[in-house]
Amino acid sequence: MAKLYFSYAAMNAGKSTILLQAAHNYQERGMNALLYTSALYAEGGVGKISSRIGLDVEANLYRQEDNLLEQIVAANKQEKVDCIFVDEAQFLTSKQVWQLARVSDHMNIPVMCYGLRTDFQGKLFEGSAELLAIADILREIRTICECGRKATMVVRFDEHGQPMREGDQVSIGKEIYVSMCRKHWEEKMRDPAVITAFRLESNPATPLTLDEDDDDSLAQLG
């Protein structure tokens, strides 16, 4: 029985490299691996999955309005599809995640999704939230903070090197993203008495004020 997989990590953990290696393993054995990536960051409307080590592979673009189940059914009629790989899976809609689940359940094709778990505010992406809820297999790809701890959060810096506490979840600009552990993410995001931590609700996220007792307790630790 095919499964729906979600491999998640912070930024620059090598997700795309792992995806491309896994896809190559299928192709090396004469199997048809269908690759997808988000159209949000596609230059010139061309689909491409790129890794930090210089690997580039063409891929199909998906947009939020696309029906991935319909596309994969059509592709499978032309040539048998043996596996689906989805990069930037955090940008999937909940509906698209369920479409991929149906590919796995009803077409018996394994679906491998790779993406970020949370955004720069520590809030789940829509696609990641749905994948964490319904994927058969969850895999964490680890990277490290500058302090050596496991990095699980991402800080967005503006072009002047200042941490950004507000803004759109998806931004295409000159921002720089750095993966950090929770402790150092919190230090960057504090504004002096507010921590930018967000409730995972369907309503717009609301900042949680830092309890003064927490500050006093932490101060005693030195």
- pLDDT tens for residues 95-138? 999 999 999 999 999 999 999 999 988 899 999 999 999 999 99
For residue 54, the model assigns a pLDDT of 73
Q: 59 labelled as ligand-binding? A: no
Regions of the chain where pLDDT drops below 50:
192-210
Judge whether 130 lies within some domain.
yes
CATH number of the domain bearing residue 31: 3.40.50.300
For residue 209, the model assigns a pLDDT of 46
Contacting residues for 34 by C-beta, under 8 A, at least 6 apart: 60, 72, 75, 81, 83, 84, 85
For residue 168, the model assigns a pLDDT of 63
Which residue pairs from 60-68 have beta carbons closer than 8 angstroms and sit at least 24 positions apart in sequence? Answer: 60/34, 60/35, 60/36, 61/36, 61/37, 62/36, 62/37, 62/38, 62/86, 62/92, 62/96, 63/39, 64/91, 64/93, 64/96, 66/96, 67/99, 68/36, 68/96, 68/99, 68/100, 68/103
- Tell how many helices (H) and how many strands (E) occur in the chain: 6, 12
Judge whether 52 lies within some domain.
yes
Q: Would you say 126 and 88 are in contact if contact means Cβ atoms under 8 Å apart?
A: no
Judge whether 219 lies within some domain.
no
Q: 38 labelled as ligand-binding? A: no
Judge whether 17 lies within some domain.
yes
166 is a catalytic site residue? no
For residue 196, the model assigns a pLDDT of 40
- Indicate the number of domains in the chain: 1
Cα–Cα dist 181/154, whole Å: 8
Q: 179 labelled as ligand-binding? A: no
Judge whether 220 lies within some domain.
no
Judge whether 118 lies within some domain.
yes
For residue 29, the model assigns a pLDDT of 95
Q: Which domain holds residue 111?
A: 4-213
For residue 100, the model assigns a pLDDT of 98
Q: How far is CA 178 from CA 39, 50, 191, in A?
A: 23, 18, 19
Q: 90 labelled as ligand-binding? A: yes
As a whole number, the mean pLDDT across the chain is 84
Catalytic residue among 28, 58, 65, 88: 88
Judge whether 222 lies within some domain.
no
Burial 120-138 (b: 16+ CB within 10 A, else e): bbbbbbbbbbbbeeebeee
Cα–Cα dist 23/59, whole Å: 11
